[in-house]
Amino acid sequence: MNFATKVLHGTSCFDPVTGASSVPIYQASTFHQADLECPGRYDYARSGNPTRQALEEAIAVLEGGVRGFAFASGMAAISSVFMLFSSGDHVIVAEDVYGGTFRFLTKVLSRMGIGVTFVDATRVEQVTAAITPATKGIYLETPSNPTLKVTDLAAVCRMAKQHELLVIVDNTFLTPYYQRPLELGADVVIHSATKFIGGHSDVVAGLAVTKDAALGDQLYMIQNGMGAILGAQDSWLVMRGLKTLKARLDVGTRSADHIAHWLAEHPAVSRVYYTGLHSHEGHHVQERQASGHGAVLSFDVGSRERAKAIFDQVKLPIVAVSLGAVETILSYPVAMSHASMPVEEREKRGITDGLIRLSAGLEDTEDLVQDLAQALDSLPPFEHKINEKKTFSRA
Ligand SMILES: *Cc1c(COP(=O)(O)O)cnc(C)c1O
């Protein structure tokens, strides 16, 4: 089955009990046991709920794994997956992981005796060099946020296998429609379903999928033990969003691609980050390991004042934290997702005061371009238009 069909028919597309065209919201915390000797499939909703289970089965099928889990948020999924490790273990983590993941690792997990080393995961040799006798896992995010750096998943997974390390991939930006890390050798895939999978900026949720059953049993024990489960209503909302994932991403990606190429030519923009641009460092690896470039891009307008002028003048996008929704979202990484990062660290990663992230929604592409154009045209152009190299004179 191809993805478009699988997303609708891969698992129960109707309620097996009544035939209802959407799995009902089983708003129940506990389940009657007719025969104590022979308990039913469900007993208590933290341990299992039919609505949540339908979502868990769907994401497992789409990612090509054996077992799925739905959590109260992306961070609940991430923190629960890290509970697979024990005190004394060491994990190698991509240096530009999501800010909330960085905070969890450095402020919470560090108190549990689990060591973390951050590396530039786009360079496999740096990942290998960070391995210690205590290393048990590698945690990746590709493309990364907000400069869309691409990690070669197959190469890292191959190396990890040799050292018997668990590979965990946050697949939020591309979703299983464009990228399936388990097929490239990863062991666990994680999602903030708040983003593309939910897709409507109306629910906070997280998902995880394991490649094998034994790891699935371990993660089930953690999900049930820690209790950060997704509620039945939110599970239903995420499933509703999931049904249109392909259609939404097709449209958003087409717009993002068009806008990225247009911005790359615009005299008021110093640099564009989008893996669909041939000039992007990670373009070729991305083409090899993913079937699309996604709906997120970033662009640099050179300074905080210039960025502010854009945010003040655009009319269509909502200005907000988050991404992956039906409406186009513009965010300002230095003041939002990366506000807590020291300036030197930020600048090293290309997260400058002029950087703006755009997550393309379902609006008409030309309307979006026109709106960006009226905002950008008010800025003085750069003397030397530099699309690919990092230096530019600040206006
Ligand atoms: C938003 C996000 C998260 C965290 O998810 P929440 O649902 O907000 O808890 C994790 N990883 C990535 C890449 C994200 O964009």
Nearest alpha carbon, ligand 1 atom 1: 192
Answer yes or no: 123 catalytic: no
| Domain stop point among 204, 222, 243 | 243
Q: What is the pLDDT of residue 386?
A: 54
* pLDDT for the residue 392: 37
Asked whether residue 316 falls in the same domain as residue 176, the answer is no
CATH number at residue 297: 3.90.1150.10
Residue 227 has what pLDDT?
Answer: 98
Do the strands 90-94 and 67-71 form a parallel or antiparallel pair, or are they unpaired?
unpaired
Asked if 232 and 246 touch (Cβ cutoff 8 Å), the reply is no
Q: In what order do the strands lie in the sheet with 115-119?
A: 67-71, 206-210, 188-192, 166-170, 135-141, 90-94, 115-119
pLDDT at 338: 85
Which pLDDT score is estimated for 385? 58
What single DSSP character describes residue 105? I
Tell whether 218 and 324 lie within a shared domain.
no
CATH code of the domain covering residue 41? 3.40.640.10
Annotated active-site residue in 26, 98, 139, 178: 98
- Is residue 274 located within the same domain as residue 219? no
170 is catalytic: yes
Contact 297, 259 (CB under 8 A): yes
Same-domain pairing of 103 and 114: yes
Whole-number pLDDT of residue 384: 58
DSSP E strands in 24-121: the ranges are 67-71, 90-94, 115-119
Note whether 210 and 64 are within 8 A (CB). Answer: no
- Domain span including residue 151: 3-243
Ligand 1 pocket test, pick from 101, 140, 195 with the greatest ligand atom count within 8 Å of Cβ, gives 195
Same domain, 344 and 273: yes
Active site residue 52: no
pLDDT at 146: 93
For residues 206 and 234, give the distance between their C-alpha atoms in angstroms, rounded to a whole number: 10
List CB contacts of 386: < 8 A, sequence separation 6 or more.
270, 271, 392
Give the number of the atom of ligand 1 that is nearest the alpha carbon of residue 101.
Answer: 10
Predicted local confidence at residue 388, as pLDDT? 47
Residues 33 and 179 occupy one common structural domain:
yes
SS3 label, residue 229: strand
Catalytic-residue membership of 390:
no
Spans in the chain with pLDDT lower than 50: 388-395
Q: Do 264 and 346 reside in the same domain of the chain?
A: yes
Judge if the beta carbon of residue 49 lies within 6 A of ligand 1: no
**39 three-state secondary structure:** coil
Same domain assignment for residues 267 and 320: yes
Q: Going by C-beta distance under 8 Å and a sequence separation of 6 or more, which residues neighbour residue 191? A: 59, 74, 77, 170, 171, 172, 175, 197, 206, 207, 208
Whole-angstrom distance, CA of residue 19 vs CA of residue 5: 19
What Å distances lie between residue 89 and 33, 109, 155, 233, 345, CA to CA? Answer: 41, 11, 23, 37, 26
Based on the domain organization, do 153 and 118 belong to the same domain?
yes
* Rounded CA separation 382/301 (Å): 9
Same domain membership, residue 225 and residue 262: no
Q: Is 139 helix (H, G, I), strand (E, B) or coil?
A: strand
* Segment (H or E) for 128: helix 124-129
Closest CA to 141 of 172, 178, 110: 172
Taking each helix axis from N to C end, the angle separating 304-313 and 365-376, rounded to the nearest 10 degrees, works out to 130
Q: Is the CB of 204 under 6 A from ligand 1?
A: yes
238 with 289, same domain: the answer is no
Torsion of CA 123, 281, 386, 366, to 10 degrees: -140
> For residues 212 and 172, what is the distance between their CA atoms, to the nearest angstrom?
21
98 lines ligand 1 (CB under 6 A): yes
pLDDT at 241: 97
Q: Is the C-beta atom of 170 inside 6 A of ligand 1?
A: yes
Rounded Cα–Cα distance for residues 147 and 69 (Å): 29
CB distance 234 to ligand 1 below 6 Å? no
Indicate the residue among 218, 243, 268 that finishes a domain: 243
Residue finishing a domain among 210, 243, 276: 243
297 lines ligand 1 (CB under 6 A): no
Domain count, the chain: 2
pLDDT in tens, 113-137: 999 999 999 999 999 999 999 999 9
218 and 88 within one domain: yes
